[in-house]
Structure 1
Amino acid sequence: MNIPAHAPLHLLHTAAVGTLATHARQPEGFPYPSVLPFAPDPQHRPTILVSRLAEHTHNLHADPRAGFLAVDAPDGDVLSGQRVTLLGTFEPIDPTPEVVQRYLRYHPDAERYLVLGDFTFWAMRLERLRYIGGFGAMGWLDGAELDLLPPLAFDEENALIAQFAGHAEGIHLLGADRYGADLKVNGVRSRFVFDDAKLNIGNLRAALEDCMQRYAN
């Protein structure tokens, strides 16, 4: 195993779209892949918003075991890019105000689906993952190894979002964690990676201040 530190974690914050592979009911036993947007939750797991009528949703109700693939290949060369395959089970989660608010920061267009009333949130309970970051940089990890630190609470993250709102023109903070920040810069999604993990809110706030200054310049 030769995986750069936290590379799979950052990839899950970089990619906006993933491939969900469920177990087909008809024809039974076949993998059923579908492409859909996702947002990382505070534990970096994919959160998806799916229609109750969708085939993959019916599949998950019958068998919640699934695979999920996220890829970052900005130059179009998939084999030289980063990708991570997650294995685990998807579980429906309550659409609390915090869950809805966080997802809509990453995917604001999804609000039109929420008003329809038949869309539900699901999050992945991660068992194992395989990361490939190019030649010689690949390996397996147990799900618990993705992040050994406690996640930020919703109220902590929301306080940081509010503090840095309007901090710099064209820069919007979508989410923050102990390892980096998810931004939208002039409409383009970006991940800012911290030099090291921020173990307290004071250090995290200082890292975000540095992040905003760098992008503003």
Structure 2
Amino acid sequence: MNIPAHAPLHLLHTAAVGTLATHARQPEGFPYPSMLPFAPDTRHRPTILVSRLAEHTHNLRADPRAGFLVVDARDGDVLSGQRVTLLGTFEPVDSTPEVVQRYLRYHPDAERYLVLGDFTFWAMKLERLRYIGGFGAMGWLSGAELDSLPPLGVDEENALIEEFNRAYGGGGAFQLLGVDRYGADLKLAGVRKRLAFDDAGLTPETLHTALEGCIKRQTN
């Protein structure tokens, strides 16, 4: 069954936590699942922050191949909800100001881990993914099919975030977390939401218009 790439893409921006499955070192070869917070990077790939002492980190250093499961079943009905299983390899990511800033927008409490100096970022390089949108709606995509457009530049995204947080962020009830060509992530009254654009924003003008329209519909 053909699955539109925007469905798993939006799901990766909806959930805050995923299940990482690495290859155990002891007992060797067994799947080792663990739950972790994550943030989507500019290519919508999961970025995780892990301790150097954690078992899953040791596993990734020995074998970077992994699976990552993301689920959205807010009513508790997992079989009717959306889920996507990502297959690929995790690679260490330098803690640049851009990486840190983006991750902390999604997970501000993680700042206490960063000051310890023991935690590092890893991002997933996607090979394949399987999306299930409910009974009878499922299929495989290659990693390249998730997003064929060039990512939004960091400066362009930051400018939009600053502009709209300044315009709508009075009292802290509104916070824009991230913007990409397909939608935006925000917190509204403490609840995280994914706003999907009707069409991909290919120019600064269309992106700004789509973002403004989505936010107005949410805040009016």
The two structures share one fold, judged by TM-score above 0.5: yes
Secondary structure class of the residue paired with 1:22: strand
Structure 1 residue 5: Cα displacement: 4.8
Which digits, 9 at most, give the CA deviation of each residue in 1:133-192, with x for residues without a partner?
012210000000000100011111111111111322411110000000001001110000
**Match of 2:189?**
186
Are positions 1:9 and 2:12 aligned together? Answer: no
Secondary structure class of the residue paired with 2:167: coil
Q: TM-score, normalised by structure 1?
A: 0.98
Conserved 8 A contact 1:166-1:172? no
Are positions 1:172 and 2:175 aligned together? Answer: yes
Q: CA RMSD in A?
A: 0.8
**Match of 2:212?**
209
CA distance in 1, matches of 2:180, 2:144: 17
Alignment gaps of 5+ in structure 1: none
Runs (4 or more) in structure 1 with deviation over 3 Å come to: none
**Match of 1:92?**
92
Amino acid at match of 2:139: G
Query: Pairwise mapping of residues 1-217 of structure 1 onto structure 2 (< 5 A)?
Result: 1-168=1-168, 169=170, 170-217=173-220
Q: TM-score, normalised by structure 2?
A: 0.97
Conserved 8 A contact 1:2-1:136? no
Aligned residues: 217
- Percent same amino acid among aligned pairs? 81
CA distance in 1, matches of 2:29, 2:73: 31
Which digits, 9 at most, give the CA deviation of each residue in 1:103-127, with x for residues without a partner?
0000000000000000000000000
Structure 1 residue 203: Cα displacement: 0.7
Conserved 8 A contact 1:52-1:120? yes
Secondary structure class of the residue paired with 1:162: helix
